[in-house]
Structures are given as C-alpha cells and as structure tokens.
Amino acid sequence: MKNLSIWMDGKIVPWKNANVHVMTHTLHYGFGVFEGIRCYSTRQGSAVFRLREHTSRLFKSAHILGMDIPYAEEEINEAILETIRRNKLKECYIRPLVYLGSDKLGLNHIGASCHVAIAVWTWGAYLGEDGLKNGIRVKISSFSRHHINVTMTKAKACGAYINSILAKSEAIKNGYDEAILLDVNGNVAEGSGENIFIVRNGVLKTPPLTAVLEGITRDTVLQIAKKEGMSVKEEHFARDELYIADEAFFTGTAAEITPIREVDNRKIGNGKRGPVAKKIQDAFFGAVQGKNELFKSWLTYL
C-alpha cells in the first residue's frame, strides 16, 4: 500500500505524507464519518459501484453528526474518481474519511475544522474466497448492536465501530469467521460490517432499518430480488428463526454477498451455499461487472 497516493483536502499526496497531528479531534473521540466503496473492472473499463449513493450516504452521515463537509457531493465524486485514476488501480476498495482537525480539542467540537481524506487500495474477498463459495461460520455476539438513541446506526460513524470491532474480535478469537449482533430487544440486527438476510419457505427476509446501517448492498439485493420476482420482507426475526432458516447470507461493500453456513455451531439449511444466495451472487457480480443492462445506471466509469 506504501506506493499508493491519498487525496487529502484537495491534494493528492504520497502515502508517507498523508499524516495528521496526534491532537486530531477524531483520533481522540471517534467523532468522524466514513464510507466503503468498491471499484470493479468491467469489459468497458473500471467502474465505481453506486458511487452517488455512497457519497450521498457520507454526507447524510455527516449531517446526522452535525458535521459540515467543506465540499459539494459532486466534488467528492470527482475526487474519488481522480484518486483511483492517479493510483492506476483497475479494481479497488475506496475509503473516504471525514474528520475534525487538531485546532480544537474537547467535547465542544463546534468550530473545529472539518477535513476529508480519500484512500484507495486493493482489497480482495473480505471473508475469504472460500467464504464466498462455501459460506462462513458465525457466532451470535455477546455485544448488542447500538440502541437507536445511543449511537444512531444510519450514520456510518467512526466511533460506532468500537462496537463492531469488539464483536468481530470476540468471534475471531473464539474460532468463528464473523459475528452477528442482536439489537437491544434481542432481534437479529446485522454483522459487524454487513447486513444480513435469511431465506425461509421461499421468502427473503432482512431486518428493517432501525438498528442497522442502511446498507447499499442490502438495497442492491432488495432491488435484484424484486426484479427476479422473489418475495421479500423487511421484518424483525429472532436468532431461533435464523437457526431454522433455509439459507442465510451477509451483504456489504467489503463482504459482497457472503453465504453463512453455520450459526452458533448449528448448520443453516444444508450447511452449504444455498440456491438463493447463489442466484443473488450471480446477479450481484453481473451488476458490478457491467454484465447486466438493467443495472448499468449503478456504474460510474473512470
């Protein structure tokens, strides 16, 4: 990664120069927002998947926290494209970060300067190539997902990820691939960095947008499922419904569509990637690689 360049407040600088001061406000309190976006290689050249939606969510996250991004959405879209072009990457993960500067410390952040950085790097299958094909083993976390009035989950806020990191590291240390967090009422919420879907009796189900991130891949899957004529429900379900589901899978920019083959040492369905997960994966990878005319408006070519 050290040969890559990073966009910082309007300038593209070498990796080693992309630094902030140790008194940077966001470093102390986690008060910042970020995005995770992917750029895929297609037959017509590289394209960023759902760029406008990701940038729009970045601005909405900042709005929820009360941060003023000193750029227009269009400028950030262009900056993202330029950063990828300059790094000459055909496929990459894109991480825009909005943070408060070092001019002011303390919980009264009002008046602190607001900065933007955009990094890009190559990031392969988040939960492993084998995970994409054969599914992963997950554990219900001992940590709950944020209550909606503690850390609002519609903002992709830096500090909110303490919760995700606690859950993820607990799962890994116990020999699982990923964690599933329940909300404070005990319903299934989401993974540490993914939304979750189950399939039961031919119906695709995902938790509603209360205590989860408004995932763009989640929306992609809902739109694909509707086009494929599947029946879809956004409703709460408990962990035992997950145990007896025919299929389960995670969705996320990093995780893409990752089947879940086991939860809490119980096989899900036949313990392999199910037919619905496979169908959604095929449509998803078709869309990101520009092979599906129906979804071509989701691609922004470099």
Q: Which is nearer to ligand PPE, 112 or 283 (CB)?
A: 283
Calpha distance 196→206 (Å, rounded): 6
Q: Does 152 bind ligand PPE (CB under 6 A)?
A: no
Of the candidate residues 58, 81, 211, 213, the single one contacting ligand PPE (CB under 6 A): 213
Do residues 54 and 299 touch, judged by C-beta distance below 8 A? no
* Min dist. Cβ of residue 35 to ligand PPE (A): 8
Does position 218 interact with ligand PPE (CB under 6 A)? The reply is: yes
| CB of 187 or CB of 251, closer to ligand PPE | 251
Of 215, 259, 274, 290, the one binding ligand PPE (CB under 6 A) is 215
Q: Are 215 and 196 in contact, with CB atoms under 8 Å apart?
A: no
Q: How far is the CB of 218 from ligand PPE (least distance, A)?
A: 6
Catalytic positions, written as ranges: 156
**Which of 87, 102, 253, 281 touches ligand PPE (CB under 6 A)?**
253
Q: Which residue has the tokens 């729009």?
A: 56
- 36 sits near ligand PPE (criterion: CB under 6 A): yes
From the number of C-beta atoms within 10 Å of its C-beta (0-12, 13-18, 19+), residue 201 rates as exposed
Tell me if 252 contacts ligand PPE by CB under 6 A: yes
Strand locations in the chain (E):
5-8, 11-14, 32-34, 37-42, 45-49, 92-100, 114-121, 136-144, 178-182, 188-191, 195-200, 203-206, 231-234, 247-252, 256-263, 266-267, 299-301
Here's the x/- map for ligand PPE, 181-210, by CB under 6 A: it reads as ---------x--xxx---------------
The dihedral through the CA atoms of 201, 206, 207, 208 has a sign that is negative
Closest approach, Cβ 179 to ligand PPE, in A, equals: 11
Q: Which stretch binds ligand PPE (CB under 6 A): 60-68, 246-254, 262-270, 289-297?
A: 246-254
Q: How far is residue 18's CA from residue 260's CA, in Å, rounded to a whole number? A: 37
Binding residues with ligand PPE: total (CB under 6 A): 16
Residue 44 CB: number of other CB atoms within 10 A?
11
Binding site for ligand PPE (CB under 6 A): 36, 164, 190, 193-195, 213, 215-218, 251-255
